[in-house]
A and B are shown apart, each in its own frame.
Chain A
Amino acid sequence: MAKSTRRGFLKLAGVAAVGMGAKPVYDAFARRSAPEQPTPPAEALTAKRWAMVVDTRKCLREHGCTDCITTCHLVHNVPDFGNPKDEVKWVWKEQFEHGFPEQHNEFMSDDLRHKDVLLLCNHCDNPPCVRVCPTQATWKREADGIVMMDMHRCIGCRYCMAACPYGSRSFNWRDPRTHIAKIDEGFPTRTRGVVEKCNFCAERLVRGEIPACVEACKAKALAFGDLEDPESEVRDLLSRHFNIRRKPGLGTQPEVYYIV
């Protein structure tokens, strides 16, 4: 008798556990409208669709310059482990033939082939990383199109890294805090085991500041602005110069444009 009671209890407990798991799933599917967006402060820079234009011709003049990278990594507390295996990076330089493997032509000038181009998250209009995330820890902001990352929700499954066709995401394989030269109090440090990437300086935009890399570029090779605004600098540059995007054939609609 005692035995069958215990068995009965265990069965009941099992059913109850499944039931408790079902509730949040039901809630998620039942959810109809997105939660309200907070109104940005008056000084904030706002846009309908943020985009960046990289003028690789200007960048060539400053060959060897890494101001944009250094500044970005400094203000975002990006650790430096000094090895490619643990590497975390938000913006970085890669030779043209690696940044644009499909644009590789046999008799391209060596200048262009080996030219360093700045790579970063493309803040795609149709981001595969967002589609695959099992916890919605990465999402696209409806208001301005920035692809954001919640490093408190991320479970560290790295599916987004497999999904990103640009290699724009990094994982904290080990504790990053021990390898940050000087912690900037203006931005949170991360914990081990989560994914991170460029956020188009969302934390600076809300304070009315342009992205750190754009500000740091002495050559003025980087432009940042609203694609939906016909008067914006980015729209002006794109209308006057031939420009390309990384892997446009994949349908991700990158929002980082390159003038070559």
Chain B
Amino acid sequence: MLDKALSGSSRYWTWVIALMAIIGIGFVFWVQQMIEGLTITGLSRDVTWGLYIAQLTFFVGVAASAVMVVLPYYLHDYKEFGKLTILGEFLAIPAVIMCMAFVFVDMGQPIRIVNVFLHPSPTSPMFWDTVALFGYLVLNVVIAYVTFGAEKKGIAPPKWIKPIIILSIPWAVSIHTVTAFLYSGLPGRGFWLTAIMAPRFLASAFAGGPAILILLVLLVRKLTKFDPGLKPIFKLAEIVTYAMLVNVFFVLMEIFTVFYSQIPGHMDHFTFLYVGLDGNTTLVPWMWTSTILAAVALFLLLVPKLRRNEKVLPVACGSVIVSIWIDKGLGLMTGGFVPTPTHHVVSYVPTLPEIMITLMVYGVGALILTVLYKIAITEREIIEQVK
């Protein structure tokens, strides 16, 4: 299988080398972080999680969203998604690996990560998050390997894989639920202390993840001979539309509860994010960018003519992705920490090394994705030729 990734056009190799260069540059900054410590990031005693953990949250969603192609195909026998399932699973694998990498680069003592397994702590959502993510990675690798292997040989996948595929559906929901529990169970953080956190995470995941998949599939259609057709892409776009509507609805629910009840401990965080607090407006432009993009995306997605336009759909998907990336990333992180437990309003701005290390992990994810997609697409092209 892997040999398919070792031969390719000069365009393929240019891309691979470019990714390796990004990884290489980021690696230098990571070495610096290993030598000097997390002091080279913008994090502080007050804002202890930032860009890294924000990416963890976002990419757990991307990983979980594979279920949006797996579920219709395997549970509802929606044949149109047949050619997409492998691309969905091959997106989930690098996404989970990126999540793990982001936790790893965020740790003060990464070498001690084995302590999570040596001293398992069932009361800690972080312990369960680790278990859920590892399990999800194993499930997706096994499922992709077996189903893709069978398809390559032109035979039906073995029967025993079906229950494992069914298991992967609730498991996908579980990884994002447990990730939400990381935040929503903390007594002193009014911004995160909301029962709607997990539903919100899932809604934004099922909008953002398939939006990324649409962009990838459109790119694959353009660059290779493999064509899953436009029909499943438009079906995915419908899923993105519904999920984005639910996501925005959930955000409005939060806004109502917080601002109608007017409890300062809950309200101050939203005020800080959207209008600024005590003169600090660091995140205000970001949050409004996210809001405007969400509105633009919903308009483009809700009008059927626009949604089914190959030129417009990528713009809509891009807006969904960036909107959610801001809201679920820096907004969720900094908004949770500011104002601080002693009611100080502080700023968090990621530093250059922090951004480069983040890009390194993005590079690793993109490289794994490239290799997996290269294998899948080359095999598919061979199958199509034989036919």
Contact = CB atoms under 8 A, between A and B. Distances in A.
Interface of A: 18, 21, 24-25, 28-29, 84-88, 94, 97-99, 101-102, 119, 128, 131-137, 153-159, 161-167, 170-175, 191-195, 247, 250-252
Nearest to B186: A163
Interface stretch (B68-76, B335-343, B367-375): B335-343
Contact of A162 (B36, B107, B189): B189
A102 B39 contact: no
A165 to B, nearest CB: 2
B107 A157 contact: yes
B188 interface: yes
A134 to B, nearest CB: 4
B117 A24 contact: yes
Contacts of A156: 38, 107-110, 112
A153 B120 contact: no
A157 B45 contact: no
B188 A164 contact: yes
A128 B187 contact: yes
A162 B344 contact: no
A252 to B, nearest CB: 7
Given A131-B123, A162-B186, 20 more contacts: A85-B39, A85-B45, A86-B39, A86-B44, A87-B44, A128-B188, A134-B116, A137-B119, A154-B108, A155-B112, A155-B116, A157-B106, A158-B106, A158-B108, A159-B124, A161-B48, A171-B48, A173-B39, A174-B38, A193-B108
Contacts, number: 155
B378 interface: no
Interface residues of B, number: 48
A55 B218 CA distance: 68
Nearest to A193: B108
Contact of B342 (A87, A94, A136, A161): A94
B194 to A, nearest CB: 15
B265 interface: yes
Given A155-B107, A193-B107, A252-B187, A137 B115 contact: yes
Interface of B: 36-39, 43-46, 48-49, 103, 106-110, 112-113, 115-127, 130, 138, 182-183, 185-189, 265, 336-337, 340-344
A29 B119 CA distance: 10
A165 B107 contact: no
A134 B37 contact: no
A133 B121 contact: yes
A25 B119 CA distance: 8
Closest 9 CB pairs of A and B: A156-B108, A165-B188, A193-B108, A174-B39, A134-B126, A173-B39, A101-B343, A167-B341, A250-B187
A173 B37 contact: yes
Contact of B126 (A102, A157, A165, A170): A157
Contact of A167 (B36, B107, B115, B342): B342
B123 A135 contact: no
B183 to A, nearest CB: 8
Contacts of A25: 117, 120
A101 B110 CA distance: 36
Nearest to A22: B117
B81 to A, nearest CB: 28
A161 B341 CA distance: 10
A26 B108 CA distance: 27
Given A85-B44, A165-B188, A171-B48, A153 B119 contact: yes
